[in-house]
Every structure is written in structure tokens, then in C-alpha cells.
Amino acid sequence: MNYQEIVSHLCDQGYLATLENVSDLDCLVVSHDFEGGNLKLIHFCVDEIDCLPTFFLGNFSQYGNLAHVLPLEKFDLGSVCVGDQDSVSVNFEQPKLAFQESLERHINLLTKTILEVAWNTEELLREFYANWLRICDDSSADFICAASGDLEEVQVFSPVSGRKWGFGAKYLGITHCASSLAEFSYIAQQDKNRSIAGEGFIIPLNNLKPAPTTSELLGEWYLQTIKNNYISSKFEQKKGKRFWLIFNAQTPSGRTWFGIQLSIKGNGKKSLPKNEESLKNWSISPIRVKIFNKEKIMPRSGANLGLEGKSVLMVGCGSVGGEIVYKLGAAGIGNMVLCDPDIYTMDNIYRHVLSDHFLGCNKAIALSLELDSKFPWIKTQYEIRKLLDLRNTNYLNSFDLIVIPLSQNSCRLKF
């Protein structure tokens, strides 16, 4: 890469560009004056380019919190995300044009974030969750929260000892909305297998500040947040050694969930800290929150919330019936009655959706349990009856769909 040629081209375009050595690395440095200040943009030299060249913002700490710019605190640099909304073709015979294009994009974005305060704040809120994740400890377990978003207490459970995967490896928060879960769904059963991890509260925020750029600024962010938002006096009076505050707020990207954990230093119990002096008694850390409610999970999983109120009667829970009810459950059907007097045997293993754990169990019962554990918001019932036992017009008319599988090659649907 002929950087001397690139420097000459940029200077011809009116930029102040030089080649310098920064921390024993060869760099292209561009200085640009704008209304109210000066930008120092640093590009670390490479042998070749296969995308738009990258520039870092020098003296980053003097600018405060900028949207689309990530701090590299050790070097006081900012990594600038100029985006790739437009496809870019790089002419390898004219790399100087790629440097000019990249430089213009960096300058346009940075001057806008610095000068247009309202726009910068809105963009910081738009990317709030991504910025929050950057200050979280990658090694800590996620917090799965079954909640609707209202102001309320939440039961917090620790991960299951020894678990590395699945829900059991996560912290779990459960509120009253978990009552809508299927009886035998995994999360509905968790309070039987876990230890309590501390006091927890769901706190909706009407006044959200941009995420702190570092974990060291988290305490200041927390104190400002509880000052600017309503916190129930009942929560403030609670005393404990460990608190989990699960926040949710509306951002330009939609409703965002995130949280913090507060742990007391030393013995005894204390109420939530509300000022800088009381906060000194606590350790504070950010946590990743994954919300678990049907409004979030079902559409993201391909299910249709509009089918939640529909009822299906499945008469016959063999291999064909099993496949059908699985697909109906995945589609979002909310209520299902499964009817079959037969037992699940070894002869069924290869062709049935049920696992061998259900050998010797009635097929309707086994499928009911299986659907409950797979689809959290389904409601299932089972009937150990034959088709002719269901001859009741009022009963049959209570369903939106009746399915009677005839064989592996055909089935009958009744609407």
C-alpha cells in the first residue's frame, strides 16, 4: 500500500494528512477543523484493504458519550461505526478513493454526533442495549426474566449447580405472569429445583439515560436513574444482601430490558442505596436480561399470537397425530385436547415424536406433557377415550378444529 500517494491525494482534497508513528505503529493521521473544534482521525496502516479503511477518533475522552463510537480507553481512542447501508465497491487500483470516501463518512458522522446533541442522544438510546452489553461481564450468566414489564416484585433463582447449557445455566426471575405458562413447562417448574438468589424488582423507566460507557460509571448512572424515575416505597424499604433490579424502557428500537445487581459489602442487610454515600457499601454490576413472555418469544419463534385463543381436538395421538399437534403447537395454537386410549410402546419409537422416556405411558398423556414442556403458553388436556365416545354435538362444536388422523398417508380435518 503506497501511503505516501494516499497522503498526497488527501492533501490535494484539502485535508491535513500526515504519516506518523503512534505506539510504534505506522499511522495515517488526518486533522480536520469543524465548527467548535478539531477532529484527529487515526488509521493504522495495513498492507491492503478489502473494505472501507478504518479510522479511529483520537483524544476520545474529550468528547463525552458519542453515538456509534466505542471507547478504547487504554489508548484514548474511539472506534467509529460508519455503517454499511450502501454497498461499496473498492477499486484496488485506486485505494486513495476508498480512503477519501471513508474519511468523508467518518467526518460527517462525527461532526453530526458532536454538534447535534438531540440526535446524538436519540441514537445513543436507539443502541442502548448494544452499549449496555459492552459493559457486562462476558463470563456471567444471563438473567432470564418471565415478566410483563409492570412495576412489581420478582422471585430470583440461582442457576442450577453444574449446568452449562439451557435454562438451568441462567439466573431466572419469575413474576405473576408466569401463571400463564403451561403447567409442566420448564420455567414453571424451576422454583422446585433452585435456590433463592436475592430480592428482585421489575422497574419500568419513563426517563431513560444513555447507557454508561464503562462499568466504572454505572454507579453514577444508577443514582441518576432512581432519582429521575418512580420507585415504589415498598421496594425502597426492603432490606437485603443482594438486590436484582430489572429495568425496561421504551427506546427508538422498541422496549429494551436490562438490569443491575447490587451486593452488600460485609455483613448485615440494608435497603436500596439512594445516594453516593450509601452506594459505597455496595458492589454494583450490570447484567444481561433476556425477557421471557409470549409477546416477545412467540412472534420471534414464528408462532402467531392470533391463534392463542383457538382450540383443537386431536382424536388419535399416534405417529401422524403426534407430528400434527407439534406443528399446531409451533404455529401458536393455545388450547389442545388430545384423545387416545393407546399406550406408547417400543414398536412406536422410530416413527413417533415421543422419546423413549414415555414408554408404557398413555400416548395422549405423554403428548400432553411433551407439548407443555416444549411450548410454554399452550394449554393441553387429555382424554383416554375412543372416537365413538366423543359423540356429543355441544362438545364437538366447542372446538375451532377437529383432527382425526386415519393413517400415515392421510388424515381428516373438520372445521
pLDDT of 68 over the 80 cut? yes
Look up the CATH number of the domain holding residue 351.
3.40.50.720
Task: Provide the domain limits for residue 349.
Answer: 302-414
Query: Does 135 lie in the same domain as 95?
Result: no
pLDDT at residue 166, as a whole number: 85
CA–CA dist 289, 133 (Å, integer): 10
Q: What is the pLDDT of residues 318-344, one digit of tens each?
A: 999 999 999 999 999 999 999 999 999
Label residue 91 exposed, middle or buried (CB < 10 Å: 0-12, 13-18, 19+). Answer: exposed
Q: Is residue 269 part of a domain?
A: yes
Q: Which strands form 254-264's sheet, in the order they lie side by side?
A: 282-287, 254-264, 242-251, 196-205, 152-157, 171-174, 143-146, 289-291
What pLDDT does 84 receive? Answer: 55
Domain boundary among 126, 147, 167: 126
Domain count, the chain: 3
DSSP secondary-structure letter at 192? G
Q: Are 362 and 347 in contact (CB under 8 A)?
A: no
Domain match, 152 and 200 both: yes
116 and 144 part of one domain: no
pLDDT in tens, 4-27: 999 999 999 999 999 998 778 899
> Are residues 251 and 220 located together in one domain of the fold?
yes
Q: Domain boundary at 234, 258, 292, which?
A: 292
- Does 213 fall in a domain? yes
User: Is residue 120 one of the residues assigned to a domain?
Assistant: yes
Is residue 1 very low, low, confident or very high in pLDDT (cuts 50, 70, 90)?
confident
pLDDT for 414 equals: 55
Residues 176 and 253 in one domain: yes
Strands 69-72 and 77-80: what pairing?
antiparallel
Model confidence, pTM:
0.80
Confidence of residue 49 (pLDDT cuts 50, 70, 90): confident
Residue 141 shares a structural domain with residue 173:
yes
For the chain, what is the mean pLDDT? Answer: 89
If asked whether residues 285 and 332 sit together in one domain, one would say no
Q: Is residue 297 part of a domain?
A: no
For residues 7 and 112, membership in a common domain is answered with yes
Nearest-angstrom CA–CA distance, 149 and 205: 10
pLDDT at residue 189 is higher than 70:
no
Model confidence band, residue 403 (pLDDT cutoffs 50, 70, 90) = very high
What integer pLDDT is reported at residue 36 of this predicted model? Answer: 72
**Per-residue model confidence as pLDDT tens digits over 191-203:** 566 888 888 999 9
Angle at 411 between CA 409 and CA 415, to 5 degrees: 155
Rounded CA-CA distance 77/108 in Å is: 18
Predicted confidence (pLDDT) at residue 408 exceeds the cutoff of 60: no
Shared-domain flag, residues 152 and 207: yes
Domain assignment present for 186: yes
Q: Could you tell me if 197 and 279 lie in one domain?
A: yes
Q: Which has more confidence, 375 or 267?
A: 375
Q: Is residue 375 located within the same domain as residue 347?
A: yes
pLDDT for 107 beyond 80: yes
The strand ranges marked E within 152-281 are 152-157, 171-174, 196-205, 239-240, 242-251, 254-264, 270-271
Domain endpoint, select from 78, 98, 126: 126
> What's the pLDDT at 87?
58
Q: Percent of the chain scored above 70 by pLDDT?
A: 93
Gap between the Cα atoms of 369 and 63, Å rounded: 57
Average pLDDT, stretch 377-397? 91
CB atoms < 10 A from the CB of 298, how many?
A: 21
Confidence of residue 386 (pLDDT cuts 50, 70, 90): confident
Q: Is residue 162 part of a domain?
A: yes
141 and 34 assigned to the same domain: no
